[in-house]
Amino acid sequence: MSHKLEEARIYEAREGAAIPAHDRPLFHLTPRVGWMNDPNGFCYYQGAYHLFYQYYPYDTVWGPMHWGHAVTTDLLHWDYRPCALAPDTDADAKGCFSGTAVPAPDGKLLLLYTGVQQAGDSPEEVHQLQCLAVGDGTDFVKEAANPVIGADLLPEGGSAVDFRDPKIWYEDGRYHCVVSTRDAHDQGRILLYESPDARRWTYRTTLDSCRNEYGKMWECPDFFPLEDKQLLLVSPQEMEASPDGEFHPGFGTVALLGRYDKTEARFTREAVQPIDYGTDFYAPQTLLTPDGRRVMVAWMENWATVNEAPRRHKWFGRMTLPRELFLRDGRLCQRPVRELETLWQNTITRRETLDGDAVYEGVAGRRLDLTVTLDAAASPDCRRFTLCFAENDRYRTRVEWSPLYNELLFDRSGCGTRRDIPHLRRLKAAPQNGRLTLRLILDGDCLELFVNDGQRVLSALLDTPAEAEGISLHSEGPLALELVHHTLH
């Protein structure tokens, strides 16, 4: 083991142990200590789910990238494993950037990641190339021949300056991976490679590109079948807002749904949608569970605002709740993993006709799973519904539904923040079969809102003191609703 890796392991064990559990969310993974960004190497291996992450243990800001590591059997309770990779070879001396993991037929776990290396005389001149490390689920040995996908394997127009985030999978006796690059026209492009052994790779084709429409560089691709479609997930930089308001500007996440002809290696794009409509969601990655569920996890932050975010703990950054993906009416939909139900306690169910303001006994807290079903069809005179949470006399975050516009407004500007960053999001929300459902999951400062059983999802962070626990509901005009509230333990 290199000195750098050993040092990181000693440091994180000591400093991580000093962080009390109540300083962390209950079931959203945070770094053992220091900084976390993208999920990496999310996989199922030897009876447990492994999640690695972009990691700088020594500070709560981004730095030379390591890979942190945690494991879980229920996707909710995580145990830290020792730091998996440190930037300690020539091929990755400037950082072990994002990548993925795949169990090999011989029982080993393979990590394919981006090594950032010096490419010229000035420290700014770096190349991003793909590297391999092989291990047993705890310790990994980097290939002496790294990078395994070098600049010589870039197609015409690709650039080693932006060439990163390989997603590897094993299928039909071969390894496959997709990698992003930024081409000569400043367009993000997803490249497909193949290999018999994860060491010798050949370039096959370009699967898709942003075509001047969905941002510029595309980061962190994922590529997998879901039901009768093939999905390409990407995280574009420099998005422009779309005229219909579906896509917000800046760092976005996009799902491209289409068909895949494996023999020809041809992806045909049929539909495009945002993956998440919130302020804090980026770089998602998926795995397939042993029972066949496609589960996704993402970094619950945003590069645009991360540098001014408060540093209240010895850790910074977190992952979303893992979510099950499925298709409905041609859209990618998401639900919290069903394991979350094992945390339910103190269930309260109410049916009400609300006209004005209401607070319901026992419906409060910051660790909860609350579903409100609005019977829009039976409530023609309701003009507006508002759900407030993480609320006291000083703070509140609200979600407001307008039946007239079939639109949902999320507003966290009153959450306690002192930062002038985006606090509002608007998204379409039309009743389905006469009903609109809002499922709110709160875990301390982490908020995830699932609209219409996962048709649209919004992830956001709050900056609200823990004592603001109130939940109130408001309706202008009579509204029939049902509410199911669970606290989470």
Catalytic residues: 38
- Quick note: the x/- pattern for ligand FRU over 131-170, rule CB under 6 A, is ---------------------------------xx-----
Nearer to ligand FRU, 247 or 281 (CB): 281
How many Å apart are CA 353 and CA 376, to the nearest integer? 11
Residue 173 CB contacts under 8 Å (≥ 6 apart), including other chains: none
**Closest distance between ligand FRU and the C-beta of residue 116, in Å?**
8
How many Å apart are CA 487 and CA 489, to the nearest integer? 7
**Closest distance between ligand FRU and the C-beta of residue 125, in Å?**
17
Inter-residue contact 347 to 481 (CB < 8 Å): no
CA 392 to chain CA mean position, Å? 30
Nearer to ligand FRU, 98 or 195 (CB): 98
Binding status of residue 253 toward ligand FRU by CB under 6 A: no
User: Total residues contacting ligand FRU (rule CB under 6 A)?
Assistant: 13
- Quick note: the x/- pattern for ligand FRU over 114-133, rule CB under 6 A, is x-------------------
The full DSSP string for 94-141 is T-EEEEEEEE-TTS-EEEEEEEEEE-SSSTT-EEEEEEEEEESSS-EE
CA distance from start to end of the chain = 39
**Closest distance between ligand FRU and the C-beta of residue 464, in Å?**
26
Binding status of residue 280 toward ligand FRU by CB under 6 A: no
Binding status of residue 88 toward ligand FRU by CB under 6 A: no
Inter-residue contact 118 to 126 (CB < 8 Å): yes
**Closest distance between ligand FRU and the C-beta of residue 36, in Å?**
10
**Closest distance between ligand FRU and the C-beta of residue 306, in Å?**
10
Instruction: Indicate the Cα dihedral angle 441, 446, 450, 451, nearest 10°.
Output: 110
Beta-sheet strands, E only, within 320-434: 323-328, 331-336, 344-358, 367-375, 384-391, 397-402, 407-411, 424-428
* Tokens found for residue 34: 């220091």
Residue 221 CB contacts under 8 Å (≥ 6 apart), including other chains: 165, 167, 178, 179, 180, 190, 232, 233, 234
How many Å apart are CA 212 and CA 351, to the nearest integer? 49
- Quick note: the x/- pattern for ligand FRU over 183-222, rule CB under 6 A, is ------------------------------------xx--
**Closest distance between ligand FRU and the C-beta of residue 62, in Å?**
7
Nearer to ligand FRU, 114 or 334 (CB): 114
Binding status of residue 276 toward ligand FRU by CB under 6 A: no
Query: Is residue 439 exposed (0-12), middle (13-18) or buried (19+ Cβ within 10 Å)?
Result: buried
Nearer to ligand FRU, 25 or 68 (CB): 68
Binding status of residue 54 toward ligand FRU by CB under 6 A: yes
Nearer to ligand FRU, 49 or 282 (CB): 282
Instruction: Enumerate residues 14-43 that contact ligand FRU by CB under 6 A.
Output: 37-38
Inter-residue contact 236 to 254 (CB < 8 Å): yes
Nearer to ligand FRU, 175 or 282 (CB): 282
Nearer to ligand FRU, 275 or 283 (CB): 283
- List residues near ligand FRU by CB under 6 A: 37-38, 54, 65, 97-98, 114, 164-165, 219-220, 282-283
